């Protein structure tokens, strides 16, 4: 007899993504975004959701930074 059903097993997923932009003159700018979430059942489902959110936020922040950098020129 199994003690736990796989669909009821708890897990935690953590995703961190980053982007580095070379600023020239030996300088760089780095943007890091991460999210940690708890879930139950198949961890791939939780991972996909966490990864999608993290990727979306990283792309948004990189676009903001790029806009600020081009505005300052």
Residue 1 is predicted with a pLDDT of 46
Reported pTM: 0.80
- Burial of 61 per CB tally in 10 Å (0-12, 13-18, 19+): middle
- CA-nearest of 27, 17, 13 to 60 is 17
58 neighbors 33 (Cβ within 8 angstroms): yes
Each of the 73 residues of the chain gets a pLDDT tens digit; together they read 455 565 678 999 999 999 999 988 898 999 999 999 999 999 999 999 999 999 999 999 999 998 988 886 6
The residues facing 12 across adjacent strands are: 38
């Amino acid at each position: 007899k199994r003690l736990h059903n796989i669909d009821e097993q708890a897990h935690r997923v953590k995703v961190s993504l980053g982007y580095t932009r070379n600023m020239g003159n030996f300088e760089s700018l780095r943007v890091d975004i991460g999210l940690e979430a708890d879930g139950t059942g198949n961890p791939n489902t939780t991972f996909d959701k966490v990864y999608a959110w993290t990727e979306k936020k990283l792309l948004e922040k990189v676009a903001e930074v790029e806009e600020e950098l081009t505005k300052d020129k």
